[in-house]
Structure 1
Amino acid sequence: MTTTYGTSDILAAPPRLNVASRFVDDVDPGPGFPFESGLPTTVEQTLELLPTTAFSCWVRDTSGLIGFGRTMRISARGPERFAELSRAWSAIAEAASVEDEVALLGSGLMCFATVAYSGESSVDSILHIPEFVLGRRGGRVWLTSITTADEHPVPPVLHPEPLRRIESATSEPGELDPTRWARLVEQVSAMLTSIDTSAEVDAFTDDPTLRKIVLARDEVVTTENDIDVRAVLGALNRSYPSCWTFDVAGLIGSTPELLIGVENGRVTSRVLAGTYRVEKNPMEEMPQARKLLSAHKDSTEHAFAIASLQRSLGSVAEDVTVDERPHLLPLANVIHSASDAQAQVPADSDLNALDIAAAVHPTAAVGGYPQASAVAHVDELEPLDRGRYSGPVGWMDGRGNGQFGIALRCGQLEDRNRIRLYAGAGIMPDSDPATEVAETNAKFAPMRRALGLE
């Protein structure tokens, strides 16, 4: 049974968690080996061992973290949601008793996290602490137990249950159908100001003039039977092994965009802005993508994203560097313009991964540019509550390390047979409404296919 705490409850009386991480891939793993039929070797085999509900995951290709069972859940809302969750996590980490023979990224005390895009959202931001975590990194597999009990928990023996393919799915427009959203795109595009293409983007850093606003729309998918989340995650992982596939508090998806990663003080980030829709084969269409993404709208959009990240990341980290030129990131359904960034957390800083994520959220890729005025207009113009869509989603450990992606290409479960999908696009002064609708359709495609719609 899950106990949900407000952050004030945690700060008033931090729970003492007992944490133990040990390898389970040894020749003789000893008692408590959780796998009935041997160590799973693929993501699908691992997913088949999980319960059909009440688990969390953050997986890229064959590495990542999967949590099942629930020890506790912490929630927050409002403009201070990041700070409140961070303080609560620091209190929990300080009080925890940890035995960690693994000493790899994500072992020991850890939590999964999903944070609402807006401080105005009515949706909770969540830290979820599972009872057990299966981790795989660098070819090693481990099991972590996290409990409030005094005695060491015995993990259940995991029995495989075949993934249930999603059938009889139907979709319908959400709060913003394509026609209404296209009209909104036209309205917003007319509000924006073009820039002199010969000018440096940095020249607009302190200029409040609106240059870009990101707009989102939604779609609702329902099925006759319960949605097997394991099957959805397996389909996403197979189709997009280079993306980060996640399930946290019912937010399910596969994002290509790493907001931040923190490992022992080193920060990494990936900026995506500019999208080419793949017609048939992404590798064969790279020349067309290169031509399109170097055009004014997409190249300027990418430059804004880089300038926004450099400024926000520089407020909490040192030695910020970004790729001089973007590269093309081909996925099955789209090709993105991408740039990678690196930085260093100051040695005397006690900031954790969630704090770094808070500093860079929302990026120009999900809010617009300049950040403050664009985000204010999103809250005003967008007639839907994005919830956790386009907010940070990922995990962090008790040492301050973690990974947070931007919750894109995703949907939020609203019932066992109902999920709301989201997609967005960056609107610029020269945006064409029909083209932007087509872009959001391309971004819906990963979840639609995983749900058996395409």
Structure 2
Amino acid sequence: MPRLRARTRPISDPGDLLRFAEPRNPAVWLRRGDGIVGGGSVWRGEFSGERRIHDAREAWAEIVASGRVEDAVRVPGSGLVAFGAFTFAATSAAPSVLQIPEFVIGRVDGRAFLTEISVTDSIDSSGPVPTVPVRLPLIIPDGPVAETTLEPGEMTQQRHRAAVEAALSRIGQGEFTKIVISRDQHGDIGADADRRHIVRRLAEAYPETWTYAVDGLIGASPEMLVRVLGRSVTARVLAGTLPRGADEAADAAAKRALADSAKNRAEHKFAIDSAIESLRRLDTHEDPDTGLTASPEPFLLGLPNVWHLASDIRGTLPSGSSVLDLVEALHPTAAVGGTPRQKAMPAIDELEPFDRRRYAGPAGWLSASGDGEWVVALRGAEVDADGRVTAFAGGGIVAGSEPADEFAETGPKFRPIAEALAPKAPE
């Protein structure tokens, strides 16, 4: 493991943070225009299998223990930071990664900062840090536009219907109570395309979501898997979805229909109960419920493409735990996997004709101070080095689900990434 030195200093507002990201491999975390952007790389770790999150946590702990951090700003995202993305399934052939950039430029609560990270050695790691002027990274001009039209993939409408019907049969036999079935779409933006165009379009169209880009995984997720700031823990659970209406009246009707839907409320209850149970298992206090609260009733979260049933969970970080402990405990949520987890996960492998890779897995960042924010990687796509794009969207299957409705539900979930990639009409 490298010995690292990280130094964070305040800077004047740099404006558009995406200008500093790498065009072909951006490292980004944004919401409402604020967040962090990384560039370069001083270390990258790849992990796989059942212990992928555990092994990443151990590697990060070793790096933090040997590193030196000088942070004059002390806001979420300052200091020594790593970006990360983990596969949905332990059996995935895709890598789970943590990567530490050479620099992080960020803006949080009106405070802008620059972190410079370098490899040092044991001889001078405890010596004084030279005082040098703050120099911003170079602004990188926009490259070729990343555009493509997404086309259906391996999970055709017919195969999706068959998978949903098989899932319903197994639910009827009592194997599980809920399972998420997803489908895929594909496109090609070309190897030299500037991936920042995708990130920018998502961030502008969906400012209330968390826009992420890590190791070719790009999206705008509405679902916060877990956030740790200090000792404060927050998670947002989404389960139960209907498309937005075409006009005001239709939209109001869709909102009411979701609020009154027994099927969607049952799906949401599975997800919230699963998340609370996972968090409570980590709590070693004498009263495991101390500080852990959830919305008594789900609220309706409106995004440009869909309405979601949503619940927020709040609590206190258990003693001796880290943000990656919580990520490991919560993933996969019932909102993207199923209930019970140990039955639904193998069934997903059987019913879906593809590797989900990092779709619906955890994506986010963590810092040496213990802070971190991780979303469920939704409303996005994997963009390979050669420009191949693979997008996924899914829906929860419970007793009473209708195959045609479930297929239709995935359409609006593709919309954010499809529109971010869509070729612009000539002026």
Deviations 1:306-330 (A, max 9, x none): 1111100111134321100111100
1:111·1:128 contact (CA, 8 Å) conserved in 2?
yes
Which residue of 154, 164, 170 corresponds with 1:185? 164
Aligned to 2:154: 175
**Cα distance between partner residues in 2 of 1:393 and 1:108:** 19
Partner of 2:10: 23
Structure 1 pair 344/183, CA: closer, same or farther in 2 (3 Å)? same
Q: Distance in 2 between matches of 1:283 and 1:135?
A: 41
Cα offsets for 1:158-191 (capped at 9, x unmatched): 2352465444x23332221222112211221222
Cα separation, 2, equivalents of 1:283 and 1:396? 43
Give 1:313's match in structure 2, choosing from 270, 279, 288.
279
1:104 maps to what in 2? 75
Describe the shift of the 1:281–1:404 C-alpha distance in structure 2 as closer, same or farther (beyond 3 A): farther
Q: 2-side partners of 1:354 and 1:224: how far apart?
A: 34
When residues 316 and 283 of structure 1 are mapped into structure 2, their CA distance, relative to the original with a 3 A threshold, is farther
1:327-375 CA-partner distances (Å, limit 9, x unpaired) = 11000110100010111123xx222111111001111001111121111
Q: 1:132 to 1:284 in 2, by over 3 A?
A: farther
> Which one of the candidate residues 217, 220, 230 is aligned to 2:183?
217
Task: Give the match's secondary structure for 2:207.
Answer: coil
Distance 1:284 1:327 in 2: 19
| Stretch of structure 1 that moved more, 290-299 or 70-79 | 290-299
Q: Which amino acid aligns with 1:115?
A: F
Which of 296, 301, 318 is the aligned partner of 2:267? 301
For residues 249 and 136 of structure 2, what CA distance do their matches in structure 1 show?
A: 44
CA contact (8 A) 1:70 1:128 kept: yes
Match of 2:139 in 1: 159
1:333 aligned residue: 305
| CA-to-aligned-CA distance 1:411-438 (integer Å, 9 cap, x gap) | 0012343210011110112111111111
User: Does 1:396 find its partner at 2:376?
Assistant: no
In structure 2, stretches of 5+ residues that fail to align are 122-128, 284-289
Offset from partner CA, 1:249-280 (integer Å, 9 cap, x none): 10000000000000111110001000011132
In 2, Cα distance between the equivalents of 1:233 and 1:227? 12
* Equivalent position of 1:267 in the other structure: 233
Measure, in 2, the Cα distance between the counterparts of 1:396 and 1:412: 21
Q: Which residue of 2 aligns with 1:127?
A: 98
Task: Give 1:281 deviation, angstroms.
Answer: 5.0
CA offset at residue 378 of structure 1?
1.3
| Structure 2 equivalent of residue 366 of structure 1 | 336
Q: Does the 8 A contact of 2:94 with 2:358 survive in 1? A: yes
Give the secondary structure class of the aligned counterpart of 1:315: helix
CA distance in 1, matches of 2:34, 2:73: 15
Structure 1 position 291, deviation (Å): 2.1
Is 2:19 aligned against 1:48?
yes
Match of 2:126 in 1: none
CA RMSD, aligned part only?
Answer: 2.1
8 Å CA contact 1:259–1:404 kept in 2: the answer is: yes
Aligned to 2:384: 414
- TM value normalised by structure 1: 0.85
2:295 corresponds in structure 1 to: 323
| Structure 1, gaps ≥5 residues long | 1-13, 26-38, 195-207
Alignment partners' CA distance in 2, 1:128 and 1:112: 5
Letter aligned with residue 23 of structure 1: P
Give the C-alpha shift of residue 283 in structure 1.
9.0
CA drift at 1:102: 0.6
Preserved CA contact (<8 Å) 1:254 1:409 = yes
Partner-residue secondary structure (3-state), 1:271: strand
Contact 1:18 1:147 in 2 (8 A): yes
Number of aligned positions between the proteins: 409
